[in-house]
Amino acid sequence: MKKSILILLLTALLAAPAFSLAGEIVFVEGTVDIKTSTGDLDYADIGMSVDTGDSIITGYDGYAELELEDGSTVKVNEDSIFKLDSVQQENQSRNSFQLVLGSASYKFTKAMKTDEPTIRTPSTVCGLRGTEFTVFAGIDGSALYVVDEGSVAVSSKGSEVELGAEQGVRVNAGETPGEPFDIKRGMVDYSAFKAEAEESFLSNPASSVFLMMDQLEEYADLADENEMLFKAQVDGLSVLREKLNTLEGDEKKAYYKETVFPEEVKASGLKQNVRYYAVSGKSLRRFVIGSMYIQMKTMYIMDQDNPDFLDFMNAYHQFLDVYETRIVPYLVEADIR
């Protein structure tokens, strides 16, 4: 009985969309790809839909604008990886917008603010309280938030700062947010931030990998926790279904609707969370650590005995060991493609 419940829940989870918010590409320039939740990769074009689990990937000359169903917009700049996603919190789905690398600008409607989505980078979380702001995610795991209008709350490592209009804050990987600073609208120099992030990475490549490994293990811990809660939920559903099978007619229908179905929804949400955190770990490995690896291999192609390169490769392989051991078991074939 327990096995059949698990199969039923997983089948429903994979068949249904993870969250209702969807978007449409309304402008595209240069090299822009869409990677779907099923692993397919296609060139982005105007009118193309972007759904939960899909990623927008821009090249060095790429730029894309995404319009959401409620009229909110996301502008994904060059050399960026942005993903639409959702996570289950307190028995309800909460929209999550992940900027894995690069930069993206957000302009949200009042309806979106009411739904309280979260904005994430590999090392930070932003609670939405404003309407217009830009987020930058560097190769070293650092992040920069700049608010044009409204306010946002940026948190990292258990500490939070709130930014008002024309304010920004930098967050280094593995650290709490820095001090907010004033900045005029439109005066942010992302190229300078990007150069600083690359300089920080190259000054100690192995350290940057270990900081990202800390984040990877946090994703793995959260996946483990939700998997444990999911299994406990399935156990509870087995008991409820045993009682359901003793009932008949209207009494059975009412018991299913009022008691069994809500618990099935909770179980489905917990399993969605497992995949959410596992796929977040995969994005960290593929895009952030992958970018680090390519840069180091290119830089030291003729000097692979260099101590910095050897330290990096040692850290890199440790990261892969954690990824293979703790994240990959939670992924499905579509995730790995």
Q: Residue 112: its pLDDT value, please? A: 60
Range of lowest pLDDT (119-128, 207-216, 320-329): 119-128
> Residue 2: is its pLDDT beyond 90?
no
Range of 18-27, 37-46, 215-224 with top mean pLDDT: 215-224
Residue 299 has pLDDT above 60, yes or no: yes
The residue length of the chain stands at 337
**Across residues 56-65, what is the average pLDDT?**
94
Tokens of 42: 């296609």
pLDDT digits (tens, 9 = 90+) for 92-130: 677 888 999 999 999 987 766 556 678 889 888 887 666
pTM for this predicted structure: 0.85
Q: Is the model's pLDDT at 15 over the cut of 80?
A: no
Residues 319 and 289: beta-carbon distance below 8 Å:
yes
Q: What is the pLDDT of residue 7?
A: 46
Does 124 or 15 have the greater pLDDT score?
Answer: 124
Structure-model confidence comparison of residues 174 and 17, the more confident one: 174
Q: What is the mean pLDDT of the chain?
A: 87
Report the pLDDT averaged over residues 308-329: 97
What pLDDT does residue 114 have?
Answer: 56
- pLDDT value at position 174? 87
Q: How far is CA 90 from the centre of its chain?
A: 19
Phi, psi of 126 (to 5 degrees): -120, 125
pLDDT computed for residue 18 by the predictor: 39
Neighbouring residues of 109: CB distance < 8 A, sequence distance ≥ 6: 70, 71, 72, 131
Nearest CA-CA partner of 329 in 293, 281, 262: 281
CA atoms of 285 and 201, how far apart (whole Å): 16
Q: Which long-range contacts (CB under 8 A, 24 or more apart) does 1-4 make?
A: 1/238, 1/241, 1/242, 2/234, 2/235, 2/238
Identify the CA nearest to 216 among candidates 327, 91, 111: 327
pLDDT band, residue 86 (cuts 50/70/90): confident
Q: How does pLDDT run across 234-263, given as a tens digit for each residue?
A: 999 999 999 999 999 999 999 999 999 999
pLDDT given at position 92: 66
Q: How far apart are CA 304 and CA 299, in angstroms?
A: 9
Of the two residues 220 and 40, the one the predictor is more confident about is: 220
Among the ranges given (33-37, 117-121, 197-201, 262-266), the one the predictor scored with the smallest mean pLDDT? 117-121
Rounded Cα gap, residues 93 and 53, in angstroms:
14
Domains detected in the chain: 17-193 (2.60.120.1440), 206-336 (no CATH)
Share of the chain above pLDDT 90, in %: 62
Residue 37 has pLDDT above 90, yes or no: no
- Cα–Cα dist 292/298, whole Å: 10
